[in-house]
């Protein structure tokens, strides 16, 4: 069962109780750099509060992420998520997308624990491995 925890202008944060995954689903609405950081800080916080074991970012409708925010996610948010108990992370990315470049940079920080997939189902399968 998936429960929506917070709705933002650009994304929803939800928790899948069956999988114990915190999930960020982008909706295609452009967000400012400051709002992007608010959303990502909240997902990190919600993951900790809900004892999430997994994190999914559905980037299929994510808008362009600035280089500064990409670096911030790599250096601050993802390491904090792992420290708080997240075991694996899946980025859902459409084939041949500019967002894929962002996802590849994020995957590089923990190649075995982070994967790029094309659907929620593929993310859940990755978590089972």
The answer to whether 40 and 6 are in contact (CB under 8 A) is: no
Contact criterion met (CB below 8 Å) for 47 and 40: no
pLDDT digits (tens, 9 = 90+) for 39-63: 999 999 999 999 999 999 999 999 8
Question: What's the CA gap between 46 and 23, in Å, rounded?
Answer: 10
Helix (H) or strand (E) holding 49: helix 33-49
- What confidence score (pLDDT) does residue 102 get? 67
Instruction: Enter the tokens of residue 123.
Output: 């993310």
Residue 82's pLDDT is what?
96
Q: Determine whether 102 is exposed, middle or buried from the number of CB atoms within 10 Å of its CB (0-12, 13-18, 19+).
A: buried
Give the per-residue pLDDT at 12.
98
- C-alpha span between 42 and 110 (Å, rounded): 21
Domains of the chain (ranges, CATH numbers): 2-128 (3.30.750)
The pTM for the full model equals: 0.90
pLDDT recorded at residue 5? 97
CA 32 – CA 22 distance, rounded (Å) = 22
The pLDDT tens digits of the residues spanning 98-125 come to 666 667 777 777 778 999 899 999 999 9
């Amino acid at each position: 069962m998936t429960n929506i925890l917070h709705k933002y202008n650009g994304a929803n944060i939800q928790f899948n109780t069956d999988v114990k995954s915190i999930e960020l689903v982008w909706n295609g609405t452009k967000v400012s750099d400051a709002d992007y950081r608010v959303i990502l800080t909240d997902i990190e916080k919600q993951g900790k509060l809900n004892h999430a074991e997994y994190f999914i970012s559905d980037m299929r409708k994510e808008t362009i992420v600035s280089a500064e925010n990409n670096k911030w996610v790599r250096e601050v948010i993802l390491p904090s998520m792992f420290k708080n108990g997240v075991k694996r992370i899946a980025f859902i990315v459409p084939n041949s997308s500019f967002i894929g470049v962002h996802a590849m940079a994020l995957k590089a920080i923990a190649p075995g624990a982070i994967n790029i997939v094309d659907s929620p189902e593929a993310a859940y399968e990755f978590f089972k491995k």
